[in-house]
Structure 1
Amino acid sequence: MKLILIKGIVAACTCATLMAAAAQTPASADFALRLPLTTTGDGLHVVEFPEAVYRASQTRALTDLRIFNSRDEALPIAYVSAPAPLAPVSPAVDLRLARLPVETEARESLLRTLALRVERDRERAVVEIGPASPPVTATPVIGGYLIDARPLKDLKGALVLAFASDAPDYAGRVEILGSDDLVFWRPIVAGPLARTRSLGEVVERNRFDIARPPAFIRVAWRSNDVPSIERAQFVEHVAPSVTLPRATLAATLSDDRRSLYVDVPEALPITRLFVKVPEVNRVLRAQVYRHDAAPSRAHRPIVGPRRTQENWQSIGTIEAFRVLRDGVEVEGAPLAIAFRFSRLRFDFSAPLDGDPPTIEAEWRPLRAIFAARAPGPYVLAIGYRETLAGPMLDAPAILAADDPAGARLPIALVDERAGAAVGPAQQRAQRTASEARWSRYLLWGVLAAAVIGLAWMAWRMSLQMRQSHPPATDGDAL
């Protein structure tokens, strides 16, 4: 009987623990914002979060973000980095090419005929080259190539030496020399130059990286074989650029018009701050502070209410302006940000005499992958402070090794217009209603039964101890 009772109490406590965990698992209705997701079917998808997600989140790390299916089941997700931006394709610039003979005297004579006029300015020589290259008969043996690189001033890219369509195979090492006056030459780069058809298709290696090329470039080699170069081109290296979205932050001007307080969504991954001056030809200087919401324990009062202290930390200085320069409007540089915060304060050097500036935050969207599991439709829910992180995926184990960002996965679209935003009062009402479900009553019933069982066991044990150890009498003592 005692063993059966102990087993029943253990089972009751286990059920109580499981029911408590189930009661603390939030449903989609408990979140402040719900946005429909459109997928292409089941399986892995990637989703990029819009601005509304960060504004509704109540945690900096987006731990209150969930993706639910129609059964209100939270699907496992994993955050991934954005794919690397693709560099724009830069058009190739054709350069003028002239053949140089092998003999030194003939080469110098040809250079003199090409350099019709040479003038020296502050930066480099200005040289005019003849309109056409010398005929092939004038150079029976080619000993190099001369390239007019004056259009490439201060550029960075690759010099491409294009072989003729009927050029024979070639493999050798060439030197790229540079000069500003066609007299003094300096080495720029050296490397292999090759063309082969041994594999069935034409394979060429003819690119040489050059930064800030001089006015003239000469291609030279030491071998007896001559590469048949038909034209020279230059392809500029253009760094990949990404246009990040911007969010306008809510700001409040102080009574003395010297400070501007800005509310910042904690989860918004800000990279730079822009101060937009409303009037032209106006300059503003400000010291920027971020608010630390966690005050030090040493300054907490022992008696009295605990209030959040105004703890501000300086993060930099910004000079915002909007001026006209040569008829073009120029604005000040932004302030780079590398951490999260909830509030900002701009202290200006003088009281503002006009409209306050607008604060814009440039932010980098985050991406996540999730395993869509039927039945749909799916909902992205955000905004629930009292919760831990939901089910997670192991992204490195699931994604392909050559696609760590999930760029080849189908994209799940977020419909911001159909999102059901819930206000604070309505959210509290929904939370109260969810707490009154039958599982809550069952939980309390199981806990009450467990307490009654423990009390009955204690009473039985005390009764058995009294029966096994009767009180001593006076006769027993003698």
Structure 2
Amino acid sequence: MRPSALLLVLLLALARPACAAAPVPGDFASGLDLPGAADGGAYSVALPLAVYEQLTRDDLADLRVFNGAGEVVAHALRRPDPADDRRETRRDLPFFPLTTIDRPARDDLSLRVRRDRDGTVLTVDAGRAAATAPTAYLVDASRLDTGLDALELRWQGSSQALCTVQVSQSDDLARWTAAAPPAVLADLEADGQTVSRRRIPLHGRVPAYLRLDAPDCADRFALRQVTAVSGAPTLPANRLVLTPAGVDSRGPERQVDFSLPARVTVRSLQLLLPAAAGAVQATVLSRPTESEPWRTAHTGLFYDLSLQGRRLLNDPVVCAPTTDRYWQVRLHADRGGAAAAGRLGLEVGWQPDQVIFVGRGPGPYTLAFASRRLDPRSSHGDGLLLGALDATRSTALIRPIEPGPIRVLGGEAALRPVLVASWTTLVLWAVLIAGVALLGLMARSLLKETRKPPSP
């Protein structure tokens, strides 16, 4: 056999097992136990931050689900939708002032309410003759047929209003429970800056009636509009606090740089100022790599104020979902030096990806991740799995699993790349070797011709 052909056969023999062999748990650096998973069930697991910090591929293709026999189980990756199609709907609600004598406790209010047959409030009598100003309001939400994510209030009176409002809920006007923690609302203006906070976050439930209590600011809390907000973007529960990676104060604007420890999907932003330090006008920007241009995520006012013994903090900003790792804050105006170098932080709210899988075979099941031993062309899961679950209307049967602690599988050895030759690569090498061999044969033939003695 010629040397070139022998070399080609050896390459095929070495590369073939690397291409054909199915991955095993030892091919991955780490793993998470999936307690409760069993044969035939459908499950989901939200990826914790520690998984993202170890993954070697941005498309999350270096993770697999294994059963107790070490066999790969088909899985699919459900990523956060980059286009959040939730749109806010708004509807004004009828409300009625409630007055009390000498401002007794909330539960001592004496109400006479007249309703029609479907529960809609027609009139409210709360003892107006003996009171001077309302300290509470009854809101009729009985005809609201969508989820109630927030209340937005507008009131008359001083532009320097600052009130603490407690929202209670009831279905029968007799038993009241808190619908949300007390909210500080504000309508402030100073030095050309305006702080307006009129929204009270709720939790999607639609009670028949709401009660708004603000006994400490009755003279500044004359309501003129109550709006129900439905479909408001949901703030992610996972939060990550970033510390400055660098500060540039050479230009007219101070620039503070941050970086994420992993590529997660960011959905909300909050500047962290020293407690009760003041307000800053800032632009938050992001980019996926250090060489790409910055893109604006949000421009606006961020504040952390202490007024009349109450803390007033701006709500987190909902931004377009992004997996950018590099962030920058540009400060246009800083009232009181609140964002001095080293005193500014950035908190991002992020939404995890979900791994969906259907149990097959014995347990226990393991989510293995972080590997450089896989074929680079391998995908991040079976895209048909989610389609099949949707088509059979089985998505409601998917049970979430809380993963166990991270444990070592293949360790650092799984993060060292191995040679995985593809057929295209082998063909190219074969052509190159054949060309070199052909050139060698031609040179040898020419050499023989030049060494022949001249003919007589």
The TM-score normalised by the length of structure 1 is 0.50
Residue in structure 1 matched with residue 305 of structure 2 by the alignment: 323
SS at 2:305 equivalent: strand
The higher radius of gyration belongs to 1
Residue of 231, 252, 258 corresponding to 2:244: 252
Sort the Cα spacing of 1:265 and 1:395 in 2 relative to 1 into closer, same or farther, 3 A.
farther
- The answer to whether the Cα contact below 8 Å between 2:31 and 2:369 also exists between their aligned partners in 1 is yes
1:377 aligned partner, one-letter code: P
> Which residues of 2 match residues 350-429 of structure 1 at below 5 A?
352-353=339-340, 356-384=343-371, 387=376, 388-401=378-391, 403=393, 406-415=395-404, 417-420=405-408, 427=412, 429=413
1:410 aligned partner, one-letter code: R
1:315 aligned partner, one-letter code: A
Distance between the aligned counterparts of 1:146 and 1:28, measured in 2? 61
- The answer to whether the Cα contact below 8 Å between 2:235 and 2:267 also exists between their aligned partners in 1 is no
Residue in structure 1 matched with residue 314 of structure 2 by the alignment: 332
2:39 aligned partner, one-letter code: D
> Which residues of 2 match residues 302-313 of structure 1 at below 5 A?
311-313=293-295
Residue in structure 1 matched with residue 34 of structure 2 by the alignment: 37
Structure 2: runs of 5 or more not aligned: 85-94, 96-110, 125-136, 146-206, 211-227, 446-451
Sort the Cα spacing of 1:26 and 1:361 in 2 relative to 1 into closer, same or farther, 3 A.
farther
Which has the higher mean CA deviation after the structures are superposed, 149-158 or 69-78?
Answer: 149-158
Residue in structure 1 matched with residue 49 of structure 2 by the alignment: 51
Sort the Cα spacing of 1:326 and 1:33 in 2 relative to 1 into closer, same or farther, 3 A.
farther
Shift of 1:344: 0.6
- The answer to whether the Cα contact below 8 Å between 1:35 and 1:419 also exists between their aligned partners in 2 is yes
Shift of 1:78: 1.2
Shift of 1:414: 0.6
Residue in structure 2 matched with residue 285 of structure 1 by the alignment: 281
Residue in structure 2 matched with residue 347 of structure 1 by the alignment: 330
SS at 1:288 equivalent: strand
Distance between the aligned counterparts of 1:17 and 1:367, measured in 2? 34
Shift of 1:337: 2.6
Residue in structure 2 matched with residue 229 of structure 1 by the alignment: none
Shift of 1:322: 1.0
Q: Between Structure 1 and Structure 2, how many residues are aligned?
A: 311
Residue of 72, 75, 78 corresponding to 1:74: 72
Shift of 1:312: 3.1
- The answer to whether the Cα contact below 8 Å between 2:29 and 2:415 also exists between their aligned partners in 1 is no
Distance between the aligned counterparts of 1:367 and 1:389, measured in 2? 16
- C-alpha offsets along residues 191-218 of structure 1, whole Å, 9 cap, x if unaligned? xxxxxxxxxxxxxxxxxxxxxxxxxxxx
Distance between the aligned counterparts of 1:371 and 1:15, measured in 2? 35
Shift of 1:316: 2.8
Shift of 1:290: 1.5
SS at 2:16 equivalent: helix
Shift of 1:341: 0.5
Sort the Cα spacing of 1:28 and 1:273 in 2 relative to 1 into closer, same or farther, 3 A.
farther
Distance between the aligned counterparts of 2:119 and 2:396, measured in 1? 45
Distance between the aligned counterparts of 1:37 and 1:146, measured in 2? 48
Distance between the aligned counterparts of 1:29 and 1:337, measured in 2? 39
Distance between the aligned counterparts of 1:131 and 1:393, measured in 2? 57
Distance between the aligned counterparts of 1:26 and 1:79, measured in 2? 18
> Which residues of 2 match residues 116-131 of structure 1 at below 5 A?
none
Residue of 59, 62, 70 corresponding to 2:60: 62
Residue in structure 2 matched with residue 192 of structure 1 by the alignment: none
Distance between the aligned counterparts of 1:314 and 1:145, measured in 2? 49
Sort the Cα spacing of 1:246 and 1:234 in 2 relative to 1 into closer, same or farther, 3 A.
closer
- C-alpha offsets along residues 359-410 of structure 1, whole Å, 9 cap, x if unaligned? 2211223323113333433222333467442441513442154746x23223
2:400 aligned partner, one-letter code: I
The TM-score normalised by the length of structure 2 is 0.52
1:149 equivalent to 2:137? Answer: no
Distance between the aligned counterparts of 2:120 and 2:388, measured in 1? 52
CA-atom RMSD in angstroms = 5.3
2:256 aligned partner, one-letter code: L
- The answer to whether the Cα contact below 8 Å between 1:80 and 1:395 also exists between their aligned partners in 2 is no
Shift of 1:430: 4.6
Distance between the aligned counterparts of 2:291 and 2:123, measured in 1? 62
Shift of 1:284: 2.2
Distance between the aligned counterparts of 1:14 and 1:81, measured in 2? 38
Structure 1: runs of 5 or more not aligned: 85-94, 96-128, 134-143, 161-232, 297-310, 441-445, 466-470
- C-alpha offsets along residues 327-363 of structure 1, whole Å, 9 cap, x if unaligned? 4322123333322201111122457447523322112
Shift of 1:272: 0.5
Distance between the aligned counterparts of 1:273 and 1:280, measured in 2? 19
Residue in structure 2 matched with residue 100 of structure 1 by the alignment: none
Shift of 1:10: 9.2
1:341 aligned partner, one-letter code: D
- The answer to whether the Cα contact below 8 Å between 2:43 and 2:398 also exists between their aligned partners in 1 is yes
